[in-house]
Structure 1
Amino acid sequence: MTTNNLYLDIHVIQSVPSSNINRDDTGAPKTALYGGVTRARVSSQSWKRAVRHSFKDHKVMVGDRTKSAAELLKQALQEVSPELSDDDAWKQIKAVFKLVKITLGKDEKTSALLMVSPGQIKQLAQYMKDNADTELDKKAITAVLKGNQSIDLALFGRMVADNPELNVEAAAQVAHAISTHEVVPEFDYFTALDDLQSDEKPGAAMLGTLEFNSATLYRYANVNVNELIANLGEAAAIEGVREFVKSFVLSMPTGKQNTFANKTLPSFVMLTLRPDTPVNLVTGFENPVSANNGYVKQSIQRLTTEYENTLDFVEPPIVNLSFSPLKLSQATSATSLTDLLEKLVANLTKVVQHENGND
Structure 2
Amino acid sequence: MPHPRFIQIHSLASYPGTLLNRDDAGLAKRLPFGGTVRTRVSSQALKRRWRFAGMADHASAAKVPHALQGLNIPMGDRSKDLVKHALLPTALEGLPVLHETVLTKLTEMLNVALYGKNGADPKARQALFFGHPETAYLQGVARDLAEMLAADAALLASVDKAPDKKALKTVEDNLKERLDPLKDNLRALSANTSGSAGLESALFGRMVTSDPRANVDAPVHVAHAFTVHALEQELDYVTAVDDLRQQSEEGEAGSAGIFDIELTSGLFYSYVAIDVALLVSNLGNDAVLAGQVVERLVQLIARTSPGAKKGSTAPYAHAEFMLVEVGDDQPRTLANAFRNAVQPKGDVFGRSVLALQDHLANLDRAYGVHTQRRQLSVTPPALDGVESVGLAALCGSLRQQIEAA
TM-score after normalising by structure 1: 0.83
Aligned equivalents of 1:310 and 1:166: distance in 2?
A: 38
Q: 1:313 to 1:262 in 2, by over 3 A?
A: same
Percent identity among equivalent residues? 27
Number of residues paired by the alignment?
Answer: 344
- Find the partner of 1:139 among 159, 163, 184: 184
Aligned residue in 2 for 1:356: none
Q: Is structure 2 residue 104 aligned with structure 1 residue 52?
A: no
Aligned equivalents of 2:252 and 2:142: distance in 1?
A: 68
Kept after mapping to 2: 8 A contact 1:100/1:142: no
Aligned residue in 1 for 2:292: 239
Kept after mapping to 1: 8 A contact 2:306/2:315: no
Q: Is structure 2 residue 158 aligned with structure 1 residue 113?
A: no
- Find the partner of 2:81 among 36, 59, 68: 68
Shift of 1:315: 5.6
Of stretches 269-278 and 90-99 in structure 1, the one that deviates more from structure 2 is: 90-99
Structure 2 portions without partners, runs of 5+: 56-60, 62-66, 149-176
Aligned residue in 2 for 1:260: 313
Kept after mapping to 2: 8 A contact 1:55/1:62: no
Q: Is structure 2 residue 272 aligned with structure 1 residue 227?
A: no
- 2:387 counterpart SS class: coil
Letter in 1 for 2:16: P
Aligned equivalents of 1:344 and 1:86: distance in 2?
A: 55
Structure 1 portions without partners, runs of 5+: 354-359
Q: Is structure 2 residue 260 aligned with structure 1 residue 209?
A: yes
Aligned residue in 2 for 1:338: 392
Aligned equivalents of 2:12 and 2:274: distance in 1?
A: 18
Aligned residue in 2 for 1:8: 7
1:221-245 residue CA offsets vs partner (Å, 9 max, x unmatched): 1111111122112322222222222
Shift of 1:16: 0.6
Kept after mapping to 2: 8 A contact 1:188/1:212: yes
Shift of 1:295: 1.3
RMSD: 3.1
Letter in 2 for 1:120: E
Kept after mapping to 1: 8 A contact 2:111/2:120: no
- 2:277 counterpart SS class: helix
Kept after mapping to 1: 8 A contact 2:87/2:142: no
Kept after mapping to 2: 8 A contact 1:321/1:344: no
Q: 1:328 to 1:185 in 2, by over 3 A?
A: closer
Aligned residue in 1 for 2:223: 175
Q: 1:312 to 1:247 in 2, by over 3 A?
A: same
- 1:187 counterpart SS class: strand
Q: 1:334 to 1:150 in 2, by over 3 A?
A: farther
- 1:191 counterpart SS class: strand
Letter in 2 for 1:219: S
Q: 1:38 to 1:101 in 2, by over 3 A?
A: closer
Aligned equivalents of 1:135 and 1:201: distance in 2?
A: 69
Aligned equivalents of 2:33 and 2:362: distance in 1?
A: 20
Aligned equivalents of 1:223 and 1:308: distance in 2?
A: 22
Aligned residue in 1 for 2:236: 188
Q: 1:326 to 1:36 in 2, by over 3 A?
A: same
Aligned equivalents of 1:104 and 1:85: distance in 2?
A: 26
Q: Rg: which structure is higher? A: 2
- 1:311 counterpart SS class: helix
Shift of 1:94: 5.9
- Find the partner of 2:206 among 134, 154, 158: 158
Aligned equivalents of 2:286 and 2:142: distance in 1?
A: 29
- 1:252 counterpart SS class: coil
- 1:28 counterpart SS class: coil
